[in-house]
Amino acid sequence: MIGNIKTLPSIIPGILFLILLISCNGNRIRYTPRGYNITKPQTMNLGTRLDEISGICWVSDSIILANNDESGRIFAINIMEPGNLDYTNVKFGEKDDYEDIVKVDSAIYLLVATGKIVRVMNYQDETNIQAETVAELPGVENEFESLYYDKDINSLIMVCKDCHREKNKIRSAYRYDLSSNKLIDSPYYQIQMDQIRKITEDAEVDFRPSAASINPMDKKVYLVSSIGKLMVVVNAKTGKVEQAFGISALLFPQPEGITFSDKGDMFISNEIASEQAATIHKFRYTKP
């Protein structure tokens, strides 16, 4: 016999929440990375100019840089007033399929879906802005959406969303060495899909990275995948998968950007999806 029936109303919301999690994430293991609660963000709604926000890059406690897919513009978003976001933008080039953005010293780097890296100088002065392609991975049928900076090796790392010859078994990462200004066309590391499937206990899991960034607190690479609704944490040197878990499709309808502040706060951007506005979620870091 079930215990005191009077307690049932108080547990019904919890049961409904559990059902919602299962419906959003299937049977995958669900948890949140150490130091974060990714179920309770501080949400910043974006204006229509950033409906298709694709990449983000933390600059300071008040500024995040962003790019809009297919628009040759860099946006500087003032995040000091989350309820009333203000931003400026500058045009640096023609339309293209820009997927991510990284700032290193005074230079801005943008990733094009084909594996091309564009460097922008003087981005704060539209009258004197300069843009040039500095690298492009050879080959066809490559698709990239993730670019991040690894300070330890002074390199930009771009991660395949879906590249030729991977056969859905790996996701390869390639390194652009900023010291020599050369793109190394052999993989820097490879993420094994079997490791993700084992951790998530899901043989059919789909992982196609849409954003990546190094967390300064643990030096790990955090990747989000809009397809499959996953967050994956890997070793920055080897690509070994250390964590993998489902994320809520309600909070993350189309996550396309991720970045971290110096203090470890995590920011994830979402393009407009269905009837939901484009957003940036902030997750405060709390030392475990």
- Give the pLDDT mean for 140-155: 94
> What is the full DSSP assignment across 41-67?
-EEEE--GGGTTEEEEEE-SSSEEEEE
Across the chain, mean pLDDT equals: 88
User: What is the predicted pLDDT for the residue at 273?
Assistant: 78
Domain ranges in the chain are 27-283
Whether the per-residue pLDDT at 85 is higher than 80: the answer is: no
Residue 19 has pLDDT above 70, yes or no: no
- Is residue 259 within 8 A of residue 213, CB to CB? The reply is yes
User: pTM of the prediction?
Assistant: 0.88
Residues 268, 212: Cα–Cα separation, whole Å: 10
User: Facing residues of 172 across strands?
Assistant: 190
Q: Where does 27-283 sit in CATH, by number?
A: 2.120.10.30
> What is the predicted pLDDT for the residue at 82?
60
Q: pLDDT at residue 90 above 90?
A: yes
**First-to-final CA distance of the chain:** 41
Among the residue ranges 162-166, 190-194, 260-264, the one predicted with the least confidence is: 162-166
Is the confidence at residue 98, as pLDDT, over 80?
Answer: yes
- pLDDT for 112 beyond 50: yes
Q: How confident is the model at residue 32 (pLDDT cuts 50, 70, 90)?
A: confident
